[in-house]
Amino acid sequence: MDTPTVEKPAATLLYVEDDHLTQELVIRILRRRFPQINIVMAGNGKDGFELYTTHHPEIVVTDIRMPMVDGIKMAKKIKKLDKDAQIIVLTASDETNNILEAIDIGINNYVLKPINVQKLIRAIELCLDRISIREQLKQKEEYISRMAYYDHLTGLPNRQLFNEFFHKALAHASRNKLLLAVFFIDLDGFKKINDTLGHSTGDHLLKAVAERLKECCSREQDTVARWGGDEFIILLTDLEVPQEATRVAQKINEAFLQPLALLNHNLTISISIGISLFPDNGMDAETLIKHADAAMYCAKNKSQQMGNKGRLNSLE
């Protein structure tokens, strides 16, 4: 009775073989047991290596004795390109020296001829398992990196990543004699929203604010980040005149005159923006952020003195 097909991650497999009978047998095995694998074929090591550089397959199955370039020479070239390449060699039992050479260059999967079907299947399964483990580790590393550099609530860069961007942008602006602007933004009346409608609504509001800020700062070189709490920070680079920053600030202010739709509420909230410019207001990141923060508090105090406090409209 046939062994049930085991579901494995999709992959591309390069099969290099010059013997047509063996090729037909192996292809039949592969297509029957691993239908999710994409197969590319070559009849010699030279063509096999060219296909490898074109398709970048996760798995290589190759005979050793072949014309033009044999399987071991091809495997060496592949290993130079990718030390983690999963290579299975098919070899006759009398080719001991070739087996030892294969092991020496980092190939730890080999199947003796005449081909043992179960051993070939197991070798491919081991390769797929290694690929799956590598992918899981990669995803874990990406997740850890994201947690370290991005705000988990809004998905914006966090303070650490913003500072890295900022220092690079300052060096670029200094070299090319360009202006850049820092916006420090605070939501007016955010505590009132949390206290009145709950922290869940507050979280949804922060996410909506993040999206609206990104819409207002849509250039590739613009950076919108969450500084912490209800504070956001924006970096505008490659500016030619200060008025460009003023126009963006006006655009942001106008955007927040429109309600933010979230959950069962339409909320209109005002914001306070403080702006600092490089090089007029400072030459380093710390000074520019400090001045933008101070300017933001001046704007907030002026707004409160004029009675323009944070607004809250709740429509059930």
Using the 8-state DSSP alphabet, how is residue 151 labeled?
Answer: -
**222 catalytically annotated:** no
C-beta separation of 138 from 145 below 8 A: no
Q: What are phi and psi of 55, to 5 degrees?
A: -100, -20
Quick one: 183 exposed, middle or buried, by C-beta within 10 A (0-12, 13-18, 19+)?
A: buried
Cα 280 to chain centroid distance, Å, stands at: 36
Catalytic residue among 63, 70, 151, 230: 230
Q: How far is CA 111 from CA 64, 77, 84, 107, 256, in A?
A: 11, 20, 19, 11, 67
- Radius of gyration, CA atoms only, the chain: 30
Q: How far is CA 143 from CA 149, 249, 275, in A?
A: 10, 33, 33
C-beta separation of 16 from 63 below 8 A: yes
Torsion of CA 68, 72, 78, 80, to 10 degrees: -120
Q: Which residues are catalytic?
A: 230
